[in-house]
Chains A and B, each alone.
Chain A
Amino acid sequence: MTGTALTFSLALGLVGLGLFGLLASRHLVKIVISLQIMTKGTLIALMLAANTSNQPALGQSLVLSAIVVDTATAVIGLALIILVKRLFGTLDLRELSTLNG
């Protein structure tokens, strides 16, 4: 396995780790954290792809876009978490899915 392939596999592993947390967690804060971890792996993969295609400036601009969208997702997600906690008193997905309100 070449160096680039190994690095890409490690970045993919980071994405997989975030996906694991996304599927296995039932706490809303942990879900937001899992999304953040998935984004970290994606950023590394994007930068690696930019280096491979000899377009580092374009790759950095794409990484910037990903950081912006990820931050906006985290901001809105955390605001929704506060709202859910105030309205329903719990952040457990299983309890939230059984509410009839």
Chain B
Amino acid sequence: MITNLLIIAAGFCALGALRSRSGLLAAGWLAGASALTAATLASLGGVQVAVLELSVGAGLVTILLVYAISLAGGDPEGRSVLSGWLVAGLVMLLGAFILLIIASSAPAQAGVVPADQPTFATAIWQTRQLDTLLQVVVLFTSGLSLIGFLATAAQPASQPETKVSKPQPAPSASAPVTPLPLYTPLESIPAPEAKQ
């Protein structure tokens, strides 16, 4: 009962995040949904992953969202291309189809309880050791990608910002080629424009 109530509350927060016109408010609603998801995981017995979800989902991702919105601007969203009712109908049809497949499949047989129940640490560091190492690589790669993207987006303060709108003509063979800088320091990133 409590689990179902927590999921419903998380869905309410998720709906608030989707309906919010402001990016910062949407980030706040998403943080609430993450916290309620963590509570749901804890109620299902996954205490360790609940703490992880709380710290990562409701902490790290929210901070990153706020940072990205502060840099990119929390412009209000325009009118959707697809009708909301059409999309809702399609999603409900897909959900009904999935439930129908699950209901018509063979009933799940009770799993054989192993004599020695592995702990969470055993499952992470012994059973799925290689997968854990790969996850570390994925996280490290995402951090490096973030630094690379931000360094690419940074422009020197002396040069005006140029927006890409038309394809540039090919340079002539006699035109001198200026090598691109390999690294642009983060300090040269211009401050976000102050909103009036």
B98: interface (CB < 8 Å): yes
Closest CB of chain B to A13's CB: distance in Å? Answer: 6
- Hey, what's the 0/1 contact readout for A67-93 against B, CB within 8 Å counting as 1? 111111011101111111111111111
B167: interface (CB < 8 Å): yes
Which A residues lie within 8 Å of B53 (CB)? 43, 63, 67
Task: Evaluate contact between A88 and B163: CB separation under 8 angstroms.
Answer: yes
Contact of B4 among A7, A19, A43, A99 (CB under 8 A): A7
Which B residues lie within 8 Å of A88 (CB)? 163-164
Which A residues lie within 8 Å of B71 (CB)? 82, 85
- Complex alpha-carbon distance, A69 and B56, angstroms: 12
Task: Evaluate contact between B18 and A37: CB separation under 8 angstroms.
Answer: yes
Known: A71-B139, A74-B61. Is A14-B80 also a contact (CB below 8 A)? no
By the criterion of a CB under 8 Å from any partner CB, how many residues of chain A are at the interface? Answer: 77
Could you tell me which residues of chain A, from 9 to 68, have a CB within 8 Å of some CB in chain B? 9-14, 16-21, 23-27, 29-30, 32-34, 36-37, 40, 43-44, 47-48, 50-61, 63-65, 67-68
Which B residues lie within 8 Å of A8 (CB)? 102
Task: Evaluate contact between B167 and A100: CB separation under 8 angstroms.
Answer: yes
Considering the complex, give the chain A residue whose CB is closest to the CB of B48: A60
Can you add 7 more A-B contacts, CB < 8 Å, to A17-B11, A37-B14, A79-B68? Answer: A7-B4, A16-B95, A17-B18, A60-B48, A71-B56, A78-B65, A93-B81
User: Can you name 26 A-B pairs with beta carbons within 8 Å?
Assistant: A7-B3, A7-B7, A12-B95, A13-B11, A19-B91, A20-B88, A23-B90, A25-B77, A27-B77, A27-B78, A29-B26, A33-B18, A36-B33, A44-B41, A47-B41, A61-B123, A63-B41, A69-B138, A76-B146, A76-B149, A78-B67, A81-B72, A86-B155, A91-B75, A93-B81, A101-B166
Task: Evaluate contact between A99 and B127: CB separation under 8 angstroms.
Answer: no
- Complex alpha-carbon distance, A61 and B135, angstroms: 11
- Complex alpha-carbon distance, A86 and B71, angstroms: 9
| B contact set with A: CB distance below 8 Å | 3-4, 7-8, 10-11, 14-15, 17-18, 23, 26-27, 30, 33-34, 37, 40-41, 44-46, 48-49, 52-53, 56-57, 60-61, 64-65, 67-69, 71-75, 77-78, 80-82, 84, 87-88, 90-92, 94-95, 98-99, 102, 108, 110-113, 117-120, 122-124, 127-128, 131, 135, 138-139, 141-143, 145-146, 149-150, 152-153, 155, 161, 163-167
Which B residues lie within 8 Å of A92 (CB)? 75, 77-78
Task: Evaluate contact between B99 and A100: CB separation under 8 angstroms.
Answer: no
Contact of B91 among A7, A20, A37 (CB under 8 A): A20
- Complex alpha-carbon distance, A3 and B1, angstroms: 8
Counting chain A CB atoms within 10 Å of each CB, which of B27, B60, B72, B150 scores highest? B72
